[in-house]
């Protein structure tokens, strides 16, 4: 079965510094990878996706993610963090083993950006 | 107005009670989902529906049932609530036919079973 792992429960970064939220995946075949963000008291919002093509994917709010096939990783990045980026971030992979290609989510990483 | 609306936002109930969580959407999507979120476990799929006549179990459907009353409405029921069903519940929708289809989530229902 397809799966993703988010090895860090929490990431702390100072405002203005670059941030990275890590995700590794395990899939059979081509990976379809996603990042979602959850702000306090809100549902998850789509940030970006990787299907095929360029390894650097750009998304909403200045975020980008780097797909690395050899390391089976799909890390989320931002050059300069904002306090408003503080949220819960989920990596997800589309499970193509079943007839229904559902999304399988990681356990989430809480990002705290300090002023 | 939100595209995916969940009611209630918060609910406290007692063990053994029947509870219904409701979800409605204005996005015109055929696919609807119910997830639960638990700290440290991420989101897990409870049920999903591809259209009004198509209901499918997800990975943790035991103790839950659903009803798809219309394309826009998908409700989740706990027939006899138990404390380990305390969680944050999300409804979501998606537009079918694309491998890169993305989910649109409601704001969630925080359920506490005492």
For chain A, give the percent of residues with pLDDT over 90: 75
Express each pLDDT in B35-53 by its tens digit: 999 988 889 999 999 889 9
Q: What is the DSSP letter of B83?
A: G
Is the CB of A60 inside 8 Å of chain B's CB atoms? no
Mean pLDDT of all residues in chain A? 91
pLDDT of residue A71: 94
Tell which residue, B112, B113, B103, has the closest CA to residue B9. B112
Q: Do residues A32 and A93 make contact, with C-beta atoms less than 8 angstroms apart?
A: yes
Instruction: Using the predicted structure, report yes or no on whether residue A34 has a pLDDT greater than 60.
Output: yes
Shortest alpha-carbon distance between residue A34 and chain B (Å): 9
Average pLDDT over residues A7-25: 97
* Contact yes or no for A44 and B105 at CB 8 A: yes
Express each pLDDT in B68-91 by its tens digit: 999 999 999 999 999 999 999 999
Instruction: Using the predicted structure, report yes or no on whether residue A81 has a pLDDT greater than 70.
Output: yes
Q: Return the residue of B nearest to A49 by Cα.
A: B100
pLDDT of residue B39: 85
pLDDT of residue B49: 93
Average pLDDT over residues A65-83: 96
Query: Where is pLDDT greater, at A66 or A43?
Result: A66
What are B64-69's contacts with CB under 8 Å, separation 24+? B64/B34, B66/B34, B68/B32
B23 — pLDDT class (breaks 50, 70, 90): very high
pLDDT of residue B97: 62
């Amino acid at each position: 079965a397809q799966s993703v792992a988010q090895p860090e429960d929490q990431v702390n970064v100072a405002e203005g510094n670059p941030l990275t939220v890590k995700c590794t995946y395990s899939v059979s075949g081509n990976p379809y990878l996603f990042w979602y963000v959850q702000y306090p008291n809100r549902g998850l919002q789509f940030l970006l996706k990787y299907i095929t093509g360029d390894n650097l994917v750009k998304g909403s709010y200045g975020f980008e993610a780097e797909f690395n096939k050899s390391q089976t990783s799909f890390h989320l990045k931002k050059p300069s963090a904002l306090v408003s980026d503080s949220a819960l971030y989920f990596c997800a992979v589309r499970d193509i083993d079943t007839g229904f290609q559902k999304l399988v989510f990681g356990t989430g990483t809480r990002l705290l950006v300090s002023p | 107005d939100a595209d995916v609306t969940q009611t209630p936002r918060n609910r406290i109930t007692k063990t053994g009670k029947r509870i219904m969580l409701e979800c409605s959407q204005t996005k015109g999507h055929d696919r609807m989902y119910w997830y639960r979120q638990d700290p440290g476990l991420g989101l897990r799929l409870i049920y999903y529906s591809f259209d009004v006549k198509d209901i499918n179990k997800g990975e943790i459907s035991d103790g839950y049932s659903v009803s798809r009353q219309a394309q826009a409405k998908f409700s989740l029921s706990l027939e006899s609530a138990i404390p380990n069903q305390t969680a944050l519940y999300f409804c979501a929708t998606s537009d079918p036919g694309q491998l890169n289809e993305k989910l649109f989530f409601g704001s969630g229902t925080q359920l506490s079973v005492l």
